[in-house]
Structures are given as C-alpha cells and as structure tokens.
Amino acid sequence: MLTKYPGAGNISFAFPTPLYQRVAPDCDTVNQELKRIVLEHEQQSPSQGRSNVGGWHSGDDVLGWPYPEIDFLKGCISEGIGEITNMEMEGRLSQDHDVNMDGGAWVNLCRNGGYNTVHNHPDCSWSGVYYVCTGERDPAAPDNAGCIEFLDPRMGATMVGLNGPDALPKLRIDPVAGMILVFPSWLYHCVYPFQGTGERISISFNVSLTFDS
C-alpha cells in the first residue's frame, strides 16, 4: 500500500513536512499601517532578547494590540491554520475545533546585520510568520541575506552519501511583503543576516488547536 503522499512513478513520500505559503492579496495599505504601528511600539518598549541578534523583538502580545490591521492578521492566520490542518487531517477538519492563539505573537524587526539563530517553538501545534516589509537588500549582499531557512528534520539525512552542493538542497525562502508561512512548531529554522537599508519587519506566532471530545 502506497503512502498517502504520492510522488512520481514508483516513488512516494513517507513522512513529508507540511508548509503553508501564501501572499495575502491587497495587503499594501495594511502593511504600511502595520509598519507605522511597529515602529511606534519599538520606541515604547525594550527588545526581548530571544532568538534575535540585533534589531527589536517585541513582547508576545501583538494579537492583543487594538488595531484593525491586527484583525486582518488574525484572519490570515486563521485561514492558514485551517488549510494546513485540514490537509494534515486528510479533509476531516470539522467545525468542532478551536484555534487557540494564546501561544502569542511577536514582532521581529531587523535592520542591517540583524538575524535570528536556529530555534523552534515548543508546546504548540503550529507556528508561522507574516512579513510586513522586507527592507531594501544591498545589491552586493549574498542571495540568502534576510532569507528564512528550514532545517531538514530527518535524523541522519546528511549521511546518505549523495555528494555535491545540490544533493540535499536546503529549504530556503526569500520572503516578500504580505507573505505568510505556517509550519509545524517543532521544525527548526533560522533567518540569515539582513544586509541592506530600511526595516525587515515580520510578525511570528504560535497556535494551539483543541478539539471537542
């Protein structure tokens, strides 16, 4: 019996890792206002030092900020969580569930040289990030500057004996404003140093799902 994740020919995938990726339509005005809100909050509170190196890390209460743009963000999160959960449950997601956003959401603001070390998000179901703006990359910067990279979660994946720089490609995403990503909270990831001008602003979040018994 083949796995439920077909590939091509005689090949199928045993335990793939889901990743939701979408760019929200008509988000330019929302993002401009979110940027203004974030820069205002940056002046009002110190950075919370976590996985970020440099820049500003807000508290985890962003979803409680009283702005309509935050309601837009909540809608994007709910849509993404619903789609990726429904896929993982093979279409069996019903209305008898609750998307619990008590895991928090926070701003990561990077300027030139800022980055995030390798980390994951324990004790929740899904995690994700929404990109408000990505700054202006220095033309001389490497292609990975400001990119988010997800690490292969398979133990021993680098020991299969395939040689060459592209034998085991990395999952690296170059974000754009309005992009939202949702992924399993256990999946390790990092952000390469941003090199350029302006601000690279993202809002990360944790979500737990509970189901009626």
Tens digit of each residue's pLDDT (9 = 90 or more) over 21-67? 999 999 999 999 999 999 999 999 888 877 888 899 999 999 999 99
Give the amino acid at 81: I
Tens digit of each residue's pLDDT (9 = 90 or more) over 179-193? 999 999 999 999 999
Domain 19-90+99-155+168-208 class?
Answer: mainly beta
Tokens of 19: 């990743």
| Confidence band, pLDDT 50/70/90 cuts, at residue 1 | very low
State the burial class of residue 102 (Cβ atoms within 10 Å of its Cβ: 0-12, 13-18, 19+): exposed
Cα-based distances in Å from 31 to 60, 96, 180: 19, 32, 12
Rounded-to-integer distance, Cα 45 and Cα 178, Å: 25
Torsion of CA 83, 88, 91, 97, to 10 degrees: -70
pLDDT given for residue 103 in this prediction = 73
DSSP string, 151-189: PP-STTGGGS---STTSS--EEE---TTEEEEEETT--E
Does the pTM surpass 0.85? The reply is yes
